[in-house]
Structure 1
Amino acid sequence: MIDYFYKSKKDPADLNDELLKKELSSGVSRILDFIRKQESDLLAPMFRLSDEVSNLLKLDVTLTNKILENQYNLGAISNEHKNKLIDQTKLLEQLVIGLSSKQQLKKEFRKILAHYISNREALGWHSSTPKKEELVQKVRFALDQLHAVKRNQDVCFFNVFVFSFLYIL
């Protein structure tokens, strides 16, 4: 603007100068056109993008809340599964202990049965009844001792063996 007054040699205090009024109004129009152009080219797209970002952030918050809720539920389910696995592990340990004790019982029962058979063979079928009864009493006592030692464990099959063996006697 200062250049205009310097080149044109006009007085800025003169309000009746039509050319000056035109130049000033055209300068204002150019400034307004520039602002409108910047608004349509830059500001409007930035507002649209900020609205989209705002919507995406709202969606992100919603999804994040759902993820957190599902993770919490998953943690509870995981703890439940862990407890069930611990219970199953304990049960399996008890089964393994029970199986090993049952195997031990079978071995001891076989020893007693082998002892009975060998002594009965040694006595022969023509031996006196008191000696046979004494052998049967010893075997029954050994089986009762075996049963008393293992009483705390679940050994149902042992009872079947004992009763079937004693029935045969």
Structure 2
Amino acid sequence: MENLNAIKYTKVTGDKLQKISLALGRSKRTVFAQMVDYFYRNKKDPVDLNDELLKIVLAKGHKSYMAFIRAQEDLLLVPIKQGVDKMITNQRDIVKFFNEQVLGANKTLVQNQEVFLKTAQDNDRLIKLIAQKMESRDSLKFKMLQILNAYIKAREELGTFKTREKEELAELTRKQIESL
């Protein structure tokens, strides 16, 4: 059997040890042995709450993390940032080209459409004017035909010897034609 030594401690310390052992789920003897091993291996002084060794270990860990982050920054982050910057520059160039080319073409297209619309409106007005002229031409033909028929009828009724009345009839017919 093992050589066992006994340590005497106060009731308060015993209660604290009991709480620690219950929290860890181990016996008090096991917890005590593990505490001794911990302080022996780490060379820590349990009285020193600001343990300098702990600070040194933490500082070394912090330095190693910072060195790792700096290495990753050089290996990954800087090239990624350069690539992203280049991509942003290319995107700006593409947008600038798009604005210059496509928007310029759209403006030209809109101007051409406006010119086409104006031409179409002018053509529409011209067609309507031609249609009116054709209607007035037909109306003019009809009126001219009526005047001519009236002239022929009146002349036949006058006979052959009334020269002065024939001239008056011709003058009246000319005035009717001029008024058209």
Q: TM (normalized to structure 1)?
A: 0.54
1:92-121 Cα shifts (integer Å, max 9, x gaps): 343233222211111101112222344456
Gaps of 5+ in 1: 14-19, 151-169
Q: Match for residue 58 of structure 1?
A: 93
Of 37, 42, 66, the match for 1:8? 42
CA contact (8 A) 1:112 1:142 kept: yes
CA distance in 2, matches of 1:104, 1:42: 90
| 1:146 counterpart = 2:180 | no
Matched, 1:49 2:80: no
Q: Do the aligned partners of residues 9 and 36 (structure 1) sit closer, same or farther apart at CA in structure 2, a change above 3 Å counting?
A: same
Aligned length: 135
Q: 1:1-169 residue pairs with structure 2 within 5 A?
A: 8-10=42-44, 12=52, 28-37=63-72, 39-119=74-154, 127-130=159-162, 134-135=165-166, 137-139=168-170, 141-147=172-178, 149-150=179-180
* Residue 53 to residue 108, structure 1, CA distance change in 2 (3 Å): same
Distance 2:134 2:65 in 1: 99
**Identical counterparts, % of pairs:** 19
Displacement after TM superposition at 1:130 (Å): 2.1
**Alignment partners' CA distance in 2, 1:53 and 1:45:** 12
Structure 2: distance between partners of 1:140 and 1:108: 17
Higher relative contact order (CA 8 A, sep 6+): 1
Answer whether contact 2:147 2:176 (CA < 8 A) is retained.
no
| Structure 2 segments unaligned to the other structure (5+ residues) | 1-37, 45-50
Matching residue's letter, 1:114: N
The one-letter code sitting in structure 1 at the alignment partner of 2:160 is S
User: Secondary structure at 1:32's aligned position in 2?
Assistant: helix
Larger Rg: 2
Question: RMSD between aligned alpha carbons?
Answer: 3.9
**In the alignment, residue 116 of structure 1 is paired with which amino acid?**
Y
Judged with a 3 Å threshold, the aligned counterparts in structure 2 of structure 1 residues 129 and 27 are, in CA distance, closer, same or farther, namely same
Per-residue deviation at 1:55?
0.9
Query: AA paired with 2:172?
Result: F
